[in-house]
Every structure is written in C-alpha cells, then in structure tokens.
Amino acid sequence: MPNELVHRTIPQIVPYLDEQDAAAVLQTLQNNWITEGPQSALFVDALRQLIDVPYGVLAPNGTMALSLGLMALGIGPGDEVLVPDITFAGSATAVLMVGAMPVFVEVEPDTFQIDMDRAAEGLSARTRAIMPVHLYGTACDMEAVDRFARQHGLFVIEDAAQGIGVRHRGKHVGSFGDVGCFSFFADKTITTGEGGFVACRDEALYQRLCLLRNQGRMERGSFVHPAVGFNFRMTDMQAAIGVSQLRKLDDIIGWKQLLWSVYEEGLSDLTEIRVVGAAPHSTHVPFRCVLIAERADELQAFLAEHGVQTRSFFYPLHRQPCFTPENSRTLPARPGASTAYAHADYGFERGLCLPLYPTLGIDNVQYMVRKIRSFYRPATTI
Ligand SMILES: Cc1ncc(COP(=O)(O)O)c(C=O)c1O
C-alpha cells in the first residue's frame, strides 16, 4: 500500500484511487461508452463471483440498492421492517423510500450488530422483513437471522454497505438473505465515488430487480414498458473504477487488517479502552478502528487538537430527530430500564471511530496510538 507521509493532520477518510483507476475511467471516455455497458457487465460479474451469488444488479448508491431490494420483494406502504438501532440513517430511510416503516431493534453490546435475542420485541402483524446490517467491517449472526426470519415468515434484506470482503462462516455477507445490498461510496473498502449493488439468489426476484431498475424493461432502446420501473442505473465510468478497485481488494483488506492490528497491539492494555473487533464466526475487514472508550468526548476533542479527525458512532436511530412516531416505530423500555436501547445508547456515548483507510501509513497509526496513550496516561513520554 502507498504510504502516506507522516503528518499531523490525519483525516477520517481518504479514498484510495490510483493511476490504474484513472486509466480505467479514461478508457471508458475514449471508448465513448459512458452509460451502463461493457465495464458494468464486468463489474457485475466480478461482484457476483466475489459474493458467490448467481445474480446481481448495480444501483446508484447503497441506499437505493436497499430500496430497490425492498421494492422487488414487494415491501411497501403498511409494512414494517426491523432495522438495528445503530446504523447509518440510510438503512432506515431506504425503508421509508418505499413507503414502509422502520422499526428499531436493540443492538448487542459486544459488536453492536443487531441483537437477535431482542428482535422479537419489534414484531407486529405488519412485519414483513428484517434488515441485518453488517456494521463496522464484521458480520451479524446470520444463522440467528435466518432462523428468526423462517420462524416468522420474513424476508431478509442484508445491508452489507460496509461489508465487501467480510465473510461469516466462510460465506460472503450479502449472500445469505433474499437480497444483499452494497455501497461503493468514497469511504468504503472499494469505491466508485457513489455506487451500489444488489445481490440475489432467485431468478424471478432478479427479473423484478432488472425491471424496476430500468423503467420496466429488460433492455434499453425500447419505448414499450411491460412493467412500471424507475432509473436505478450507474455509469460505465463508475463501473470501470469498480473493476479496477476490485483487482486491489486483497491488498486493501490486508493493509486494513495490518493497520487495525497496530492499533490493537498499541491500545489493548489500556483499561479505559476496548478495541472492537470481529464478531464470532466472522472475518474482519475493518471499516474504521472502532473504540469503546471512557471519556470518549474528551478523547475526541484531544485528538482533534492533535490533528486527528475522528467520528462518533452512528447516532442511535430511536434518537434521530428525523424519525418520528409517524414514520418509524420505537419499542417501549423493558421494566426497570430507562430505554429499550441501552446498548445502542452506551455505544453512542462511548464509541469513537479512528481513521483506517488504505492510504494511511503505519507511522500515522503509531502516532495516534501514542496520542491516545498520552491522553489516558499523561505521564507517558511521547
Ligand atoms: C450501514 C450503511 N447502510 C447504508 C449506507 C448507504 O449507502 P450510500 O451512502 O451508498 O447510499 C451506508 C453508507 O455509508 C452505510 O454505512
């Protein structure tokens, strides 16, 4: 991996784009084929092989990939979808986009993935689907999700926006559910700027995805529309970057794992901190270096003073100003508890995401480790 110069301003994320990515875009421009075409077909094939699914379609971004998947499964007004309380808002707004209602489910306290022991609390007669979100570079417990979905007759829409390269019991995330949705936004493990993908295993569902994403037609160039559909397409420039990025995926994953191990080795003895790692039976393609830290707000301010951009955890969805009782459903607190989402609240109050991206140098990680150590152990010489 290219080594960023050691410097004292470390952004939260720097996308990793190189000459090969630039050449790939230039080639599409020179070929004069900029809408979905040969590069898009190659990108879809490469993604299908990686994720190991028979079918898949591109989408403009991860949020629209989720909406497209929900729509193809027939989820819409009057339906409810179980969504973990800690995730990016896009998981829930994708549900709203198809007219359905997100219902927030508590997360488990070790890895902050959806807590399948608590999912039943969100069920109602209107529940049609569950959306496990593979968060921060590891996987949800997909056996438990699958059991629950079968028991209650629910569809499974995997939000694998952050999950490229992540495997649960050897299987790539996004290949378990009825649909698995990915994002290629600039901060993801591979990026196309904006971009998304819907993986699926069922041919009839694939046909519906194709119709919905392309104005109700299987092909372009015809003005006869057998079904109602929309425009969820990408461009060949973006797909060309995606193909080029996928060629580097193993190196990117290796580098991210190495950076994470430098953080982990440097911080694991601090009792004030827990470095959040992989969930059981899952590999780890760190999305960020996620900490549960005492005095997380103060640590964040301290690191900012020293040129390090961090991010808090995602704001729990049950606390988001945009999600109201009219457009979402929160659960009542359990007897004796002040909130139904104690783990999500705990994660938000103590969670901190440290920079971890392919162009980040080891020296910079060592610098951040030294700064964090000095925050908790001011006497340490740095
Ligand atoms: C967990 C999760 N879901 C959904 C999305 C939405 O993806 P996009 O930004 O490509 O729409 C993101 C993006 O950050 C995400 O992290």
**CATH number assigned to the domain comprising residue 120:** 3.40.640.10
With respect to residue 13, please indicate whether it lies within any of the assigned structural domains.
no
Q: Is 248 a catalytic residue?
A: no
Query: Is residue 108 located within the same domain as residue 159?
Result: yes
Q: Which member of 188, 248, 256, 371 is catalytic? A: 188
Exposure string of 354-379, with b = 16+ CB inside 10 Å and e = fewer, is bbbbbbbbeebbebbbebbbebbeee
CA-135 nearest atom, ligand 1:
1
Query: Is residue 255 located within the same domain as residue 141?
Result: no
Contacts of residue 165, Cβ cutoff 8 Å, sequence gap at least 6: 50, 172, 189, 249, 253, 283, 285
Ligand 1 test: best mutation among 66, 88, 190, 238, most atoms within 8 Å of CB?
A: 88
Ligand 1 test: best mutation among 183, 285, 287, 315, most atoms within 8 Å of CB?
A: 183
Name the residue with tokens 């991010």: 311
Query: Is residue 239 located within the same domain as residue 263?
Result: no
Query: Is residue 254 located within the same domain as residue 230?
Result: no
Looking at residue 378, its pLDDT comes to: 84
What range does the domain containing 278 cover?
A: 249-376
Beta strand extents in the chain (DSSP E only): 55-59, 80-84, 101-105, 127-130, 155-159, 167-168, 171-172, 179-183, 196-200, 273-275, 289-293, 311-312, 351-354
Query: Is residue 234 located within the same domain as residue 254?
Result: no
Domain boundary, last residue among 185, 214, 247: 247
Residue/partner pairs of 374-380 with CB below 8 Å, 24 or more apart: 375/298, 375/299, 375/302, 375/303, 376/270, 376/272, 376/273, 377/270
Q: Are strands 273-275 and 289-293 parallel, antiparallel or unpaired?
A: antiparallel
Contacts of residue 219, Cβ cutoff 8 Å, sequence gap at least 6: none
Q: Do 115 and 66 contact (CB within 8 A), yes or no?
A: no
With respect to residue 238, please indicate whether it lies within any of the assigned structural domains.
yes
Residue 56 — φ and ψ, nearest 5°? -175, 155
Query: Is residue 57 located within the same domain as residue 123?
Result: yes
Looking at residue 380, its pLDDT comes to: 62
**CATH number assigned to the domain comprising residue 360:** 3.90.1150.10
Looking at residue 3, its pLDDT comes to: 46
235 lines ligand 1 (CB under 6 A): no
Distances (CA, A) of 345 to 17, 117, 130, 303, 342: 36, 18, 21, 22, 5
With respect to residue 3, please indicate whether it lies within any of the assigned structural domains.
no
Query: Is residue 300 located within the same domain as residue 359?
Result: yes
- Rounded-to-integer distance, Cα 284 and Cα 275, Å: 13
The alpha carbon of 194 and the centre of ligand 1 are apart by a number of angstroms equal to: 10
Domain boundary, last residue among 196, 222, 247: 247
Query: Is residue 208 located within the same domain as residue 289?
Result: no
Total structural domains in the chain?
2
The alpha carbon of 174 and the centre of ligand 1 are apart by a number of angstroms equal to: 14
Looking at residue 300, its pLDDT comes to: 98
Closest Cα to atom 14 of ligand 1: 88
* The two three-digit tokens of residue 352, written as one number: 């901190």
Beta-bridge mates of residue 355 = none
CA-183 nearest atom, ligand 1:
10
Query: Is residue 240 located within the same domain as residue 333?
Result: no
Question: What is the CB neighbour count within 10 angstroms for residue 353?
Answer: 21
- To 10 degrees, the CA torsion angle through 18, 19, 21, 27? 170
Query: Exposed (0-12), middle (13-18) or buried (19+): which is 53, by Cβ within 10 Å?
Result: buried
Exposure string of 254-284, with b = 16+ CB inside 10 Å and e = fewer, is ebbbebbebbeebbeebebbbbbbbbeebbb
The alpha carbon of 308 and the centre of ligand 1 are apart by a number of angstroms equal to: 23
CA-65 nearest atom, ligand 1:
11
Closest Cα to atom 10 of ligand 1: 62
The alpha carbon of 159 and the centre of ligand 1 are apart by a number of angstroms equal to: 8
Query: Is residue 64 located within the same domain as residue 129?
Result: yes
185 lines ligand 1 (CB under 6 A): yes
CA-194 nearest atom, ligand 1:
10
The C-alpha angle 311, 317, 323, rounded to 5 degrees, equals: 125
The alpha carbon of 225 and the centre of ligand 1 are apart by a number of angstroms equal to: 31
pLDDT (tens digit, 0 to 9) for every residue of the chain, 382 residues total?
544 445 569 999 999 999 999 999 999 999 999 999 999 999 999 999 999 999 999 999 999 999 999 999 999 999 999 999 999 999 999 999 999 999 999 999 999 999 999 999 999 999 999 999 999 999 999 999 999 999 999 999 999 999 999 999 999 999 999 999 999 999 999 999 999 999 999 999 999 999 999 999 987 788 899 999 999 999 999 999 999 999 999 999 999 999 999 999 999 999 999 999 999 999 999 999 999 999 999 999 999 999 999 999 999 999 999 999 999 999 999 888 889 999 999 999 999 999 999 999 999 999 999 999 999 988 765 5
159 lines ligand 1 (CB under 6 A): yes
- Rounded-to-integer distance, Cα 239 and Cα 42, Å: 8
Query: Is residue 108 located within the same domain as residue 187?
Result: yes
Looking at residue 1, its pLDDT comes to: 57
90 lines ligand 1 (CB under 6 A): yes
What are the counts of helices (DSSP H) followed by strands (DSSP E) for the chain? Answer: 11, 13
Beta-bridge mates of residue 158 = 180
CA-134 nearest atom, ligand 1:
1
314 lines ligand 1 (CB under 6 A): no
161 lines ligand 1 (CB under 6 A): yes
